[in-house]
Amino acid sequence: MKMIWLVVLLGMGISAAAQKNDSLRYPSEKHLKNIQQLTFGGDNAEAYWSFSGKSLTFQSNYSGFGAKCDQIFWMPAKPGKKFKVNPVSHGKGRTTCSYFLPGDRSILFASTQAAGEMCPPDVPREKNGPYLWPIYNEFDIYTSDLKGENQKVFIASNGYDAEATVSPTGDKIVFTSTRNGDLDLYTCNIDGSDVKQITFELGYDGGAFFSPDGKQIVFRASRPKSAEDVEKYKGYLSRGLVAPTQMEIFVCNADGSNLRQVTQLGKANWAPYFTPDGKSILFSSNHASKRGFNFNIYKINVDGSGLEQITFDGVFDSFPMFSPDGKKIVFSSNRNNKGTKDTNVFVADWVD
């Protein structure tokens, strides 16, 4: 039996010794190696690489960091003797979706702080009701230096402005806004000028990222079609809510042209990111979960072919992102949380 197990491991390109040392990796995760855990408590997610690949921004509600609700931090991309988590938002309002700007000296993030420094209330979960995300109209996009100082409003409107990410080419930003009454994608120049709407269909368009060459954008979207679904979507949005239970992955050119749907899996497909060659997409999905509670990371070709499961956690894996050199991946997971509900940040070597 031991010999059979050794053959299986060697067939995956990973030795038995490496498997034993790589204790955070499930045997079926053939594309991951040398998984390392970077955070150890609370909910830590949306960790994104700096342009140099040396640092990560992320959001956390961990009380050990002094957070009372989601706040923005940055940290080295691998643990070390002087490993340090650095606060950026300093507990003001609720925050989300941080991203390094070119040069790695400034960070973009969304915050409700202009409406008050207290955390806005969480969405109460209705008995037998759907899972809901808050879409706070108070969210505006800010810039800050790495110490959390010199904060400035970068993008603002009368509605929700958040989910900003930067093109790898360093010239464009994409973000989600309700400035037109719906949740659509917009782009702007790296200095915030020339804001343009690039998606126009009814539904939630968000979580967008550019391709490695900056020519395409991948994002998650809901597309309510029936009169009942449209009414529900509009009703939730009027209350500052969205039900993220039916989303698929879409791709378009950076100007919004050539829009096409990549996945048709049902349930919730989200957190997409292009592979380094721009030919495939990593994303998180619960389509294989009977009750919809379990999320894992999958890979699919841009044309919708070649679906492959990447992670095999029993609860939650999401927010995958490749390092700038394409050699590593960062993601958030419930693995190794010792039975708690904690979600932590992990990095791993990527194996093609």
Could you tell me if 35 and 347 are in contact, meaning their C-beta atoms sit under 8 angstroms apart? yes
Could you tell me if 248 and 204 are in contact, meaning their C-beta atoms sit under 8 angstroms apart? no
Quote the CA–CA distance of 155 and 189 in Å, as a whole number: 11
C-alpha of 136 from chain center: 18
Which pLDDT score, from 0 to 100, does residue 4 have? 31
Which pLDDT score, from 0 to 100, does residue 20 have? 53
Q: What mean pLDDT, rounded, does the chain reach?
A: 93
Which pLDDT score, from 0 to 100, does residue 76 have? 96
Nearest alpha-carbon partner for 245 in 126, 125, 133, 134: 133
Nearest alpha-carbon partner for 99 in 232, 3, 212, 190: 190
| Tokens 């790296």 -> residue | 190
Which pLDDT score, from 0 to 100, does residue 21 have? 72
Element (H, E) at 204: none
**What would the pLDDT profile of 288-305 be if each residue is shown by its tens digit?**
998 888 999 999 999 999
Which pLDDT score, from 0 to 100, does residue 24 have? 97
Which pLDDT score, from 0 to 100, does residue 10 have? 31
What residues of the chain score a pLDDT lower than 50?
A: 1-19
Which pLDDT score, from 0 to 100, does residue 8 have? 29
User: Domain boundaries in the chain?
Assistant: 1-30, 31-350
Nearest alpha-carbon partner for 96 in 156, 40, 136: 136
* pTM over 0.75, yes/no: yes
Could you tell me if 164 and 170 are in contact, meaning their C-beta atoms sit under 8 angstroms apart? no
Kindly report the CATH class assigned to 31-350.
mainly beta
Both structure tokens of 260: 């096409």
